[in-house]
Structure 1
């Protein structure tokens, strides 16, 4: 595979399309493509020419006092811009060095790509190969040869960081490579509702750092330079989401080794326990996860019980008769977020778990053997 892409090859990868975005993945507009000066027709897009600042020249600049500047310089050389070609036109995102060989990005950035390119700060575009993708966690792994020596692996955090921890998102929003926005971790244990997915992404991180189209796949880092999460989606000016480092640790090694990841599956539809459910079911507990319905061919069929009728509470139909899950193995389950995190981080398909439920006003424990989540149904192109 040629690693440095010729100008003619690159222009073919950047055909004209209308500007759009999908969960942080930006489609490029023709005007944006034409703003970049191109080298002569026969020149390859390799390392940047001498008139650009080199890492050595930047290192000789006066030291910065800013803690944010320090973490930026520590991390930015390990973050890459991503450009892909699809049947719908070119699109972009971000990626970062996971280890000495591979980069991590989002599934939705590269899954439908016919070809993929990455560019680090001080080198030109390189063609990359997709090693593995996982639709359900929105994670993907890329391989690219001839990486610059400055592109060193970014470590993952050892455990969850507290709400209020300063973080920064580094990536390629709107093709502005190496952009840096700061904020804090503003929430943990979120279920990320990604477009086109029937299952949410568990254990998500919420941040108020600016997340824009093109940030997808880039790292959300602490001021120690460790990756707390992989930016996945933005929901407004002060709400963005990242896939947790814990999820990365679970999924990415399988993508490297096998190209895919299998998720545990219960085959149930759930509701959080709320006041109307408590009243309609006369529940002896005020928290937990209510089993609304069960897939006929799912692993929970015959083990758990779903609702069998509705009851009117304050003018609204509320399901009644279903189990309330309050514990799985040694994990208390106060809500759907905890149940999703338990399945995603602690179990594998085929595991047998102990599920404590409230049924007919009594607590009881049942054994459930988990299945494998059905294959993803990806949106069709064009």
Structure 2
């Protein structure tokens, strides 16, 4: 499901350092049944075990400043947060749960996944790294969002994973607009200031990085999935950036109405509207083709296509089944590197 950009409120918006309160402020916690495992999710214990590893991030930019959240990622003092939290930062200060402040260095950022890595010296010994889930959580799993919504440090809100395979705008300015596929939807309240904080399950394992709330709807928040953290964060630590694969088409979902209008004999898939000149798709895919599979994986929507392609890196060759002139055929495409945010595509 694609979520219109106009419905989203980035969590950092409107928060200033002046609204912050002392770390360790009382938070509402409770107990609820975990329907996925038939076990009890003890949110009080969960809070006690995880909040020590959650930080408040204070950012100062040329135009002002704001607050966000983050969590300790490893023993080397690296902290994961959102890219939009530290975008254009001149200085970044991190406050730990018991009040200690540290100046942070921005190690790497990636606008296309909205992830960033910070590094600080002398992490307090109580702030242990949080484990990151290697798989994708199932819908219905009990979760909690931790961070500093509206500057209220040491906050936990509970809910469930209410949806998966959502696509969020990546928030880059100018140039082509790409999405963050496989984003998690959650009923845990995510407010301005929660951005960059962890979404954890009942074991305290990170299943996502809180990134946005939805305007015009209650109990709808979004988090970058842990599978993206596992893929992107090591590259940010090593290289300061992450290179995303690039196909080079614009498209729309095939529905019965679209199929009738375009004279197609399928009612699902991705209809290619334009192939960008000089892109990896140029010469292999044509306008009017319908993408049906990527590497044997069925593609019913643009979300499916993005989710399939995100597993590959620039230089990888993928097999794609397409429908062209009423016939199914297989084409091979060697993926390229996604242009930098704001860069113009094509001729």
**For 1:327 and 1:356, how far apart are their aligned partners in 2?**
5
Residue 304 of structure 1: aligned partner: 285
Q: Determine if the alignment matches structure 1 residue 280 to structure 2 residue 267.
A: no
Out of 261, 278, 302, the residue aligned to residue 336 of structure 1 is 302
Q: Give the C-alpha shift of residue 195 in structure 1.
A: 3.3
Residue 199 of structure 1: aligned partner: 178
Provide runs of 4+ in structure 1 moved above 3 Å: 26-31, 194-197
**For 1:191 and 1:83, how far apart are their aligned partners in 2?**
28
- Tell me the SS of whatever aligns to 2:138: coil
Q: Determine if the alignment matches structure 1 residue 259 to structure 2 residue 240.
A: yes
Q: Deviations over 1:272-312 (max 9, x none)?
A: 11122110223222211111111112111111011xxxxxx
- Tell me the SS of whatever aligns to 2:89: coil
Residue 208 of structure 1: aligned partner: 187
Out of 339, 342, 346, the residue aligned to residue 377 of structure 1 is 342
CA RMSD of aligned residues (A): 2.0
Q: Give the C-alpha shift of residue 249 in structure 1.
A: 0.7
| 8 Å CA contact retained: 1:264, 1:348 | yes
Aligned 1:128-143 pairs, distance under 5 A: 128-143=104-119
Sort the Cα spacing of 1:377 and 1:232 in 2 relative to 1 into closer, same or farther, 3 A. same
Residue 148 of structure 1: aligned partner: 124
- Tell me the SS of whatever aligns to 1:114: strand
Residue 219 of structure 1: aligned partner: 198
Return 5+ residue gaps in structure 1 as ranges. Answer: 1-20, 37-47, 54-64, 307-321
Residue 353 of structure 1: aligned partner: 318
Out of 207, 211, 214, the residue aligned to residue 232 of structure 1 is 211
Out of 144, 161, 164, the residue aligned to residue 188 of structure 1 is 164
Q: Give the C-alpha shift of residue 25 in structure 1.
A: 1.0
Residue 268 of structure 1: aligned partner: 249
Name which one, 1 or 2, has greater alpha-carbon Rg. Answer: 1
Q: Deviations over 1:142-195 (max 9, x none)?
A: 001111111111111231221111100000111101111111000001111243
| 8 Å CA contact retained: 1:23, 1:194 | no
Residue 116 of structure 1: aligned partner: 92
Q: Give the C-alpha shift of residue 85 in structure 1.
A: 0.4
**For 1:91 and 1:78, how far apart are their aligned partners in 2?**
21
Out of 70, 90, 102, the residue aligned to residue 65 of structure 2 is 90
The one of the two structures with greater contact order (alpha-carbon pairs below 8 A, sep at least 6) is: 2
**For 1:156 and 1:297, how far apart are their aligned partners in 2?**
38
- Tell me the SS of whatever aligns to 2:192: coil
Sort the Cα spacing of 1:350 and 1:131 in 2 relative to 1 into closer, same or farther, 3 A. same
**For 1:191 and 1:81, how far apart are their aligned partners in 2?**
27
Q: Give the C-alpha shift of residue 330 in structure 1.
A: 2.3
Residue 173 of structure 1: aligned partner: 149
| 8 Å CA contact retained: 2:16, 2:67 | no
| 8 Å CA contact retained: 1:26, 1:174 | no
Residue 78 of structure 1: aligned partner: 53
**For 1:124 and 1:22, how far apart are their aligned partners in 2?**
30
Which range moved further: 347-356 or 155-164?
Answer: 155-164
**For 1:192 and 1:290, how far apart are their aligned partners in 2?**
20
- In the superposition, the TM-score normalised over structure 2's length comes to 0.87
Q: Deviations over 1:66-90 (max 9, x none)?
A: 7111111111000000001001111
Return 5+ residue gaps in structure 2 as ranges. Answer: 1-7, 26-39
Aligned residues, how many?
A: 316
**For 1:174 and 1:69, how far apart are their aligned partners in 2?**
22
**For 2:69 and 2:139, how far apart are their aligned partners in 1?**
25
